[in-house]
Amino acid sequence: MTTPERRAAHPFHMYDAILAQPAAIGRLLIVEEEAAERAAALVRDARRVHVVGIGTSWHAALVGEWWLRALGGRDDARAWNSFEFRTDGPPLNADDAVIVMGHRGTKRFSTASLQMARERKAKTIAITGIGSATGDGDADVVIRTAPVEQSAAFTVSHGTALTALAMIAVAVGASLRHKPALLARPGLAQLHVLMEWAIATELGVRKLAAATREAAFFALAGAGPNASTAMEGALKLNEAAYPFAAGYQTEQLLHGPFVALGPSTVVVALMTPGDTRDRTIQLLRAADAIGAHTVAVTQEDDHHAPRIARTVIQMPEVPVALTPVTFLGPLQLLAYWLAVERGHNPDVFRLDDPAHLRAREFYAL
C-alpha cells in the first residue's frame, strides 16, 4: 500500500472519508448483498457466533453482538476483543462461526484470530476494506466495505463495517417467523440516505467544536447499542484531536466517573426513545448543574431536548437499531472539527509528534 499524500490543512483525508459514507453504504447494500446472505447462512448454521475486532472494530463487534441478538435471534452471539480472543479465547470447532472485523487487514491480533479460527475449522467471515491485506481466500466469506482509508482515524470503513453487520443480522432474522422484526430489509435499504442527514449536521457540529475547543474532558454516554457508539465517538476524539475523552454506558457514567466532571467538561448524551430516555435526561440535568457543556444528540421528534441541553443535534427519526450508524456522523464530525480548531492533523495518529513517534518503537499494532 502506498503512503498517502499528507495534507497540511482542511480538508484532511478524514473529512473526505466522513463525506464518502453515504455513497459507500449505498454501494455496500447492493454490491455485497449476496456475500451478506452467504455469511448469514453460515451464522444460522453455527452453534455459537463470535464477532471479533480491535480498536474501532471492537466497537463494531459490540454493536454486531447486539444486532445478532436483537435482530437475528442469536442469543449466543458474543463480541470479543481480538487480543483476548487470540490469547485467552473460547475453544473453537466446526460448530462455531467467527466474524473478524479489520479495515486494512493488518492488525496483528485480528489477523491471528482469523487464522486461528480457520485452523480450528470454524466457519469464517471477514469484513474488511477494498484493497486490504485480507485476501478473498482468507475466509469462507469476505465482505468488502470501502477503499482502505488514507486517514488513521477510521470513519467510512467503520460506518460500512457496521452496515455489513446489520445486513448479516437482518438476513439471519428474516428466517425467524415467530419473532417480530425490529428492523427489516426496507428500513436498512434507506441507511445511505439517513447517513446523508447525519452528515448534514455539520454546521451545528462545527459551531460546537469552536465553542468547546478549550474543554478539558469530553464524556460521551449512550445506552443499549449506543454505549459502543459513545466509546467510538470518544476514540475518534482521542485519535483526531487528542483531548481527554471517554465513552460510557449512560448508567455507568453516573456510577463514579461523574464526580470527576465539572465546568470544563463536555457531556454528549445519545438520546433514543424507550426506557433509557428518562435516565439520559437525568444525566443531562445533572451535568448542567455542575456547569458542564451539555450536548444532546437526539431524534427530530424530541421536543424536550432543547430545554435540557445547551447544544442539540437533531437526527432523523429511525428505529433504535439503526442509530449506531446514524449517530456516527455528528460524532465523527465533532472529532474532525475539534482537531482543526486545535491545530492538529487528524490523519496522522499523532506520529508528527516526535515523542509519540519514539513511543511507537516499543509496540506495533
Domains of the chain: 13-189 (3.40.50.10490), 196-341 (3.40.50.10490)
Tell the residue number behind the cell numbers 437499531, with chain if given: 321
Q: According to the model, what pLDDT value does residue 181 have?
A: 56
Tell me 36's DSSP state: H
Of 90, 252, 81, 63, the residue nearest 158 (C-alpha): 63
Beta pairing, strands 311-315 & 293-299: parallel
- C-alpha angle with apex 252: 158 to 267, nearest 5 degrees? 65
SS3 state of residue 170: helix
pLDDT at 254 over 70: yes
pLDDT confidence bin for 58, thresholds 50/70/90: very high
DSSP annotation of 6:
P
Mean local confidence (pLDDT), 65-87: 96
**345-362 tens-digit pLDDT:** 999 999 999 999 999 999
pTM confidence score: 0.96
User: CA-to-CA distance for 309 and 2, rounded, in angstroms?
Assistant: 45
For residue 233 the three cell numbers come to 465517538
**What is the structure's pLDDT at 4?**
65
Alpha-carbon torsion, ordered 224, 228, 230, 233, to 10 deg: -150
| pLDDT over threshold 90, residue 172 | yes
Q: Is the dihedral of CA 204, 323, 286, 308 positive or negative?
A: positive
Q: Please report the DSSP string for 41-92 in residue order.
A: HHHHH-SEEEEEESTHHHHHHHHHHHHHHHTT--TT-EEEEHHHHHHH----
CA–CA separation, 103 and 119 (whole Å): 22
Q: How many CB atoms lie within 10 A of CB 296?
A: 25
pLDDT of residue 187: 73
pLDDT at residue 185, as a whole number: 66
Distances (CA, A) of 315 to 126, 209, 294, 323, 326: 31, 18, 17, 9, 8
**CA gap 358, 9 in Å, rounded:** 24
With vertex at residue 169, the alpha carbon angle to CA 164 and CA 171, rounded to the nearest 5 degrees, is 95
- Between helix 328-341 and helix 202-211 the angle, nearest 10°, is 40
Return left, alpha or beta for 271; rule: phi > 0 is left, psi -120 to 50 is alpha, else beta. beta
Q: Hey, what's the cell of 20?
A: 464518502
Q: What is the mean pLDDT of residues 219-231?
A: 98
**Confidence band (pLDDT; 50, 70, 90) for 206?**
very high
